[in-house]
Homo-oligomer: A and B are copies of this chain.
Amino acid sequence: MAEKVTIATVARHAQVSRQTVSNVLNAPHVVREETRRRVQEAITALGYRANQAARQMRTGRSRLIAVRIEPTRDGINGSVLDRFLHGLTETADAAGYRVLLYTARDDGHEIATYDDLLGAYDLDAFVLTGTDHGDPRTAWLAEREVPFVTFGRPWDAPDAHPWVDVDGAAGTAQATRRLLDTGHRRIAFLGWPAGSGVGDDRRAGWRTTLAAAGLDGAAPDAATEDGIAEGERVMRDLLALDEPPTAVVCVSDSLALGALQAVRVAAAPVAVVGFDDTPVAAAVGLTSVSQPLAAAAARCVELLTALLDGQPTDPQVLLRPELVLRHTA
């Protein structure tokens, strides 16, 4: 019979202490990457398998994180959360956690699902993708002291709970500066109706950048629900103005694709910038603001593991997006 592979065997093989192997298994973020890789390689080479049930008994952890998967939408903006989910699963795997998926029709159903999942699987934590004003879900979780992190800020109370977000205003500010730098002076914004945290934030970046250049009075500010058809319709209206804009910053790639369509039909030389750098943007050559989704997912997992391990951590993480230049601006 082959020798039983234990933590001690792995430690000998990787030339580290047993405590380091234990850290790699239970708190990998405290281990230097090079060491972590060496230990992981030893674990793979030796076929070491930590007994999860035993580990759970010892640590009180199931090492399961639950994430909601959104219903399929138009497939354009939906791809953002899909990419976040990919990143989250990859980082969680590396940190020794698994991702459990669930669906929910609305906030009430989602809270009922939390209750069900916590009873059923003894989950360690939740990752919420997105927050609303006065979100009842985060209040429910906080009341029960269930660890969670949101991808998206609580707009009403920034310190309410741990979150990771991308600075949307910085993204539209970059886009607007790029258009100013290339000579545009009438730069419109095509956004969502006021009242959504994400949409208002992106509008603010455009507005403050134009104001700093002394140009905010001359800039049309249009709003509509999201969608390619909606973007095309509103852009047609903007092009029909007495002094039409020469460029437009859009709150989403869906609206930008619609705007692009209107611009092409009218053969108007109007620059268009989208937001989210979706696969569709790449395919049609749309300049767009890219969110660092893999980094955001990794920071969510880091934040959660630090919380679960009682490590000190900065519980609010704001990441910078990046403007990806293509053909339309």
Contacts and interface: CB of A to CB of B under 8 A. Distances in A.
Contacts of A87: 72
A118 to B, nearest CB: 10
A89 B69 contact: yes
A75 B83 contact: yes
Contact of A79 (B79, B89, B121): B79
Identify whether the interface residues of A are mostly helix, strand, loop, or mixed: helix
Interface stretch (A28-36, A160-168, A189-197, A278-286): A278-286
Nearest to A44: B112
Oligomer copy total: 2
B102 A98 contact: yes
A112 B99 CA distance: 17
B279 A257 contact: no
A134 interface: no
A86 B72 contact: yes
A267 to B, nearest CB: 16
Contacts of A93: 102-103
Q: Give the interface residue-count category, chain A.
A: 35 or more
Nearest to A74: B279
Contacts of A72: 83, 86-87, 294
B79 A116 contact: no
Nearest to A83: B72
Contacts of A158: none
B89 A101 contact: yes
B119 A51 contact: yes
Given A72-B83, A284-B284, A99 B98 contact: no
A211 interface: no
Contact of A89 (B86, B102, B228): B102
A119 B52 contact: yes
Contacts of A100: 64, 98-101
Contacts of A78: 279
A51 to B, nearest CB: 6
14 contacts: A64-B100, A69-B85, A69-B89, A71-B86, A72-B83, A75-B79, A79-B79, A82-B82, A89-B103, A93-B103, A98-B102, A98-B121, A279-B279, A283-B283
